[in-house]
Amino acid sequence: MVDDRVSVTRVWHALALAWVVAALAACGGGGRDASGGSGGDGSFGRTAAPPQVSLSLRAPGLVLSEQELAVTVPFGSLPARRSVQVTLPPSVLDWGATSTTPRLQASASDPSPAGTGTVFLDFWPALPGTYTEAVQVFAEARTGDIGSFLDSKTITVTYTVTANDAVEVAFFPQGADLTWKQGTPEPEAAERTVLAKPGVIARQREIQYLTFPPAAASHPLVNGWWLDGPEFMPAAMVCADDEAGSSSCLPPGTYTARLRYEIVEDGRSSDVFWPVTLQVVP
């Protein structure tokens, strides 16, 4: 195999040399015999057919440490991040990993100087069941002076979530823990996934405010700093404008709240809570 460092010029030189050698061999070394013909079988002026030379200019492709993974967790838990080591082809131009399923997110590291990389697999929550996920790993590499080639491999992931009678509703993440530094933009929205096991209904109810620093007792947002509902993304609101147009922000300290969910199963109702903590720092 000719690797990707062989230039096109050297390849054609090799072909020309091979053709000349074959032609000389067909003519008996190029000499003439006593009859006046060419060497070998006595014929004269015969042209030898060019030799058949098979060349491959494709560099070595992707090599994965694993191409099949199996992960099992009980309902209400998330698998830990998994990783797959990758040996990249020489002269790699670009590489990455993609997944089109909603339960698995794939990402790729930057290539190392040694020509290796890592595919990271992060799992999303799922109801009990077994799911087969496919992750496509690809790499584009330069091949000599004539262009590039694309190689790809597939990682097959079997993701199993087992039943868990101890958990009726699973929250991902299990709560919101935000920190806001005064004078900076308000904390980003905290996304939340709620999964109720089959046969269970989870209804979002009110926000219950629990604790706050004494300096915030009279602040207009002391019992209204968390926004949460079906019509907008969950977020913390730390500053409010008064009628005069001036802004007043929450003073430093720790604020806690919780979002109540009503759980209904077999006609019975109970409550579960999603906790929220906001830390305001000067």
Question: Of 134, 162, 190, which residue constitutes the final position of a domain?
Answer: 162
Query: Residues 81, 27: one domain?
Result: no
Q: Are residues 13 and 102 in the same domain?
A: no
Six token digits for residue 203: 């209804």
- Residue where a domain terminates, one of 40, 57, 74: 57
Q: Point out the domain boundary residue: 162, 195, 217.
A: 162
176-181 and 268-281: which strand pairing?
Answer: parallel
Q: What is the mean pLDDT of residues 57-71?
A: 84
With 80 as the cut, is the pLDDT of residue 227 above it?
yes
Local confidence band at 228 (pLDDT 50, 70, 90 cut-offs): confident
Q: How far is CA 157 from CA 147, 154, 183, 224, 279, in A?
A: 33, 10, 45, 44, 39
Where does the pLDDT of residue 234 fall: very low under 50, low under 70, confident under 90, or very high at 90 and above? confident
* Helix H or strand E segment including 24: helix 8-26
**Residues linked to residue 121 through DSSP beta bridges, in sequence order:** 82, 106
Domain containing residue 270:
169-281
**Mean pLDDT for the stretch of residues 143-151:** 81
- Say yes or no: 158 and 193 in one domain: no
The Cα 152–Cα 150 span in angstroms is 7
Tokens 């997944």 correspond to 99
213 and 252 in contact (C-beta within 8 Å)? yes
Q: What is the CATH number of the domain that holds 101?
A: 2.60.40.2910
Taken in order 99, 100, 103, 107, the sign of the CA dihedral is: positive
Residues 175 and 259 in one domain: yes
Structure tokens at 46: 């015969």
User: Are 276 and 177 members of one domain?
Assistant: yes
CATH number, domain containing residue 268: 2.60.40
Residues 149 and 202 in one domain: no
Residue 20, helix vs strand vs coil: helix
Residues 99 and 12 in one domain: no
pLDDT band, very low/low/confident/very high, at 148 (cuts 50, 70, 90): confident
Number of domains composing the chain: 3
Helix (H, G, I), strand (E, B) or coil at 215: helix
| Same domain for 243 and 182 | yes
